[in-house]
Amino acid sequence: MKVMVTGATGFVGLHCVRQVLAAGHEVRLLVRTPSKLERIYGPFGIAFDDVVEGDMADPSCVKTALEGCDAVIHAAATFYGGDDVLAANVAGVRNVVGGASDLGIDPIIYFSTVGCVFPGTGEMLTVDDPIASFSTTYGKSKAEGERLVREMQDRGAAITSLYPSGIFGPDDPVPGETSKGLRDSLAVVFPETRGGVAIVDVRDLASIAVRCLEPGRGPRRFMTGGHFLTWTQFADLCSALTGRKLRRVRIPGSLMLGLGLLLDQVRRIVPFNYPLTHEAAQYMIHLKPCDSRPVIDAFGIEFRPIEETLVDSIRSLHEAGHIDDRAAGKLAGRGVR
């Protein structure tokens, strides 16, 4: 099977490509900057001879990348850039997922997010919860993309949607938001508030995506939320794994929301990429566990122990120079890949 992958230079895309190849499939990559591939994949001894240079927002480039492929994994998303984020991510869904559906490609794997159904209607987040409303352009782009995908699924398109939570694990090329959050918590201060965090290992997420590469299964949606910890449990576990007494600050939920609002206002004057927003603060203090039982039952899998995920995340951050020996504590050293 030839699988076209978007987002191959990102965290999820990297692990998907590696596991797609390990499963014996071929890949074609749609990437904006092919020169990044050697830096990201060279350490794993992987080189590519089927790469289309272009942007997911360019219909002609996407059409070229889709031609002759048997399956698609759409893992690309733009996080920063103001209103351009909304246009780019929605165009990516239309061009990649919609274009693949128009060509009759089966299966199509689409990475959504648990945020699309937050805060949900019950004690756990499920794939049947209504699509959420967002204030940030990235959130709006994911919600609009989710609407488009659900419309296609309602028409019978062979799209499998995966809803990951906070994605952790080794070898984040950037690093992304969750990796930066872990980095800052270990190196600076660990914020504790009400609510909690759902953690899924990027390797488990990629494994699920590869298991979904089955034609003829029709439209499907799977929550991939992994494990849920309160913020205090998360801090306690990181402290135990590193052997360090972490700096912690207890922040009431109302103050966390206020800080998020304040930073939103500051960004309108001085743009910066600090991850806390009012939307993110709501997510932090109101997040619930995710109902991932259907994906576990469908594929006979279990999410790997959260301790393994965090150990490998921390070691990888240290190896890449994102945290120093003090922050990594007794985990300073090479990560498990």
Q: What is the CATH number of the domain that holds 20?
A: 3.40.50.720
* Domain-embedded: residue 53: yes
d(CA 287, CA 225): 11
Instruction: Look at the block and give the residue holding tokens 């060509």.
Output: 103
**What CA–CA distance (Å, rounded) separates 252 from 155?**
45
Cα separation of 73 and 243, whole Å? 39
Strands 227-230 and 196-201, by their bridges, are: antiparallel
**pTM of this prediction?**
0.93
Give a yes or no: residue 274 inside a domain. no
CA distances from residue 100 to 45, 52, 71, 106, 167 in whole angstroms, order as listed: 30, 16, 8, 8, 26
Unique residue bearing structure tokens 């972490």: 246
3-state secondary structure of 106: coil
Q: For residues 269-294, b (16+ Cβ closer than 10 Å) or e, as one string?
A: eeeeeeebbbbbbbbbbebbbbbbee
- Quick one: CA dihedral 140, 102, 224, 239, positive or negative? negative
Domain count, the chain: 1
Confidence at residue 324, expressed as pLDDT on a 0 to 100 scale: 96
- The b-or-e profile of 180-202 (16+ CB within 10 A means b, else e) is bbbbbbbbeebbbbbbbbbbbbb
CB atoms within 10 A of CB 19: 18
SS3 241: helix
Mean pLDDT of 266-276: 75
**Which of the four pLDDT bands, split at 50, 70 and 90, describes residue 335?**
very low
Q: Which of 47-56, 172-181, 294-303 has the lowest mean pLDDT?
A: 172-181
What tokens were used for 323? 């945290």
On whether residue 110 sits in a domain, the answer given is yes
Contacts of 54 (CB under 8 A, 6+ apart): 30, 31, 32, 60, 61, 62, 64, 65
311 is a domain residue: no
* Mean pLDDT over the full length of the chain: 92
Higher local confidence (pLDDT), 32 or 270: 32
Tell me, yes or no, whether 132 lies in a domain: yes
Q: For residue range 97-156, what is the model confidence (pLDDT) as tens digits?
A: 999 999 999 999 999 999 899 889 999 999 999 998 876 677 788 889 999 999 999 999
| Residue 81 neighbours by CB distance under 10 Å | 14
Which CA distances in Å does 152 have to 110, 125, 139, 253?
12, 22, 20, 38
pLDDT for the residue 337: 43
Q: Is residue 185 part of a domain?
A: no
Q: Does some domain include residue 321? A: no
Q: What is the mean predicted confidence (pLDDT) over 54-61? A: 96
Domain that holds residue 294: 2-170+198-226+288-303
Are the C-beta atoms of 186 and 246 separated by less than 8 Å?
Answer: yes
The answer to whether position 264 is within a domain reads no
Q: 38 vs 89, which has greater pLDDT?
A: 38
> Where are the alpha helices (H) located in the chain, listed in sequence order?
11-22, 35-41, 59-66, 83-92, 99-102, 137-154, 177-187, 202-211, 231-242, 253-269, 278-286, 293-299, 306-319, 325-328
Whether 28 contacts 50, CB under 8 Å: yes
334: exposed, middle or buried (C-beta count within 10 Å: 0-12, 13-18, 19+)? exposed
